Amino acid sequence: MLISIPVHPDLAAVLADLAKNRPYLATAYGKGRSPNGLGNLMREWCNAADLPECTAHGLRKACARRLAEAGATAHEIMSVTGHKTLAEVQHYTKAALREGLADSAVAKLLARPNREQTAVNLPARFTGITTK
C-alpha cells in the first residue's frame, strides 16, 4: 500500500543538504533501499548505537503514539503509519490516549452539564435512601 506523508519541517531541513541525484536512503550503489533492506540497516544502526531494544517497528509505534498524544484521530494516524485497520492503530495508541481521555472525562464531569452543584453522589438519587 502506498502512503503519502507530508515532510516534517525538521526532516525537510536535513534532506535539503543531501545530494539531489540519489535517494536519501540510498545503498552503496546509489539505489533506493527495499523495505527489508531498510529494516536490516536500521537493526545494524541500533546495534551499533548500543540500542538493541530499538527497531524500525518501534519508530512506527512511537510515531502513532505521538500523533495520538497530539490529538490526531485514528484515521489520521492510519494515513501516516500505513496501518490498515483501526484495531492496529488502537493497539499502539491506547496507552497514549488513556491519560488525556481521563483528563477530558473528569473535565466534563466538573463542567456539570446537568447543573448539579457537586460531583458527589447524592444519596436520594443514587441509593434510594433519603437523608434528613
Residues 95, 77: Cα–Cα separation, whole Å: 15
More confident residue, 67 or 97: 67
Q: Which residues of 13-49 are buried (b: 16+ CB within 10 A; e: fewer)?
A: eeeeeeeeeeeeeeeeeeeebeeeeeeeebeeebeee
Residue 101, phi then psi, degrees to nearest 5: -65, -35
The predicted pLDDT at position 127 comes to 58
pLDDT tens across 82-132, in order?
Answer: 899 999 998 878 877 676 777 877 888 787 766 665 555 555 655 565 555
pLDDT tens digits, one per residue of 4-57? 788 889 989 988 888 888 776 788 888 888 888 888 888 999 999 999 888 888
- CA–CA dist 132, 61 (Å, integer): 56
Write down the pLDDT at residue 123.
Answer: 58
